[in-house]
């Protein structure tokens, strides 16, 4: 008997990013819905600063459930810190999210 929530062996849960038509083409993993939402937000088109960044609704359905976590996400370019590792580019994309609520899909 499977549990309702699909938790991987490493404790992470999988969240599918839902497009407006209901497509779920991308999956992000995280210990929490917010962690997965931050990963999704980093893929957004970054603004020149946090205040200029466009706010986008992110709808993440937890795999194995009908629960959709709704976030507002935004991303922006920032100069990497001086003590950055060599592999890190000079400009990095930062992101943030704010939780808007939870919806339950009708099965």
> 15 falls in which pLDDT band (50, 70, 90)?
very high
- Return the C-alpha torsion angle 30, 35, 40, 42, nearest 10: -130
Residues 26-56: pLDDT tens digits?
Answer: 999 999 999 999 999 999 999 999 999 999 9
The arithmetic mean of pLDDT across residues 83-94, rounded, is: 96
Q: 3-state class of 37 per DSSP?
A: helix
Q: Is the pLDDT of residue 106 over 80?
A: yes
Q: Is the pLDDT of residue 2 over 80?
A: no
Q: Which residues of 22-42 are buried (b: 16+ CB within 10 A; e: fewer)?
A: eeeeeebebeebeebbbbbbb
Q: What confidence score (pLDDT) does residue 4 get?
A: 55
Q: Cβ(77)–Cβ(98) under 8 Å?
A: no
CA–CA–CA angle 8, 73, 14 (5° rounding): 10
Residues 59-86: pLDDT tens digits?
Answer: 999 999 999 999 999 999 999 999 999 9
Domain ranges of the chain: 13-104
């Amino acid at each position: 008997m499977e549990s309702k929530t699909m938790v991987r062996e490493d404790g992470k849960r999988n969240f599918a990013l839902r497009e407006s038509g209901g497509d779920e083409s991308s999956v992000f993993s995280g210990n929490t819905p917010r962690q997965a939402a931050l990963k999704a937000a980093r893929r957004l088109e970054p603004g020149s600063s946090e205040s200029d960044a466009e706010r986008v609704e992110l709808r993440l359905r937890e795999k194995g459930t009908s629960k959709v976590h709704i976030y507002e996400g935004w991303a922006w370019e920032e100069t990497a810190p001086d003590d950055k590792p060599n592999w890190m580019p000079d400009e990095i994309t930062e992101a943030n999210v704010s939780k808007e609520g939870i919806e339950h899909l009708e099965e």
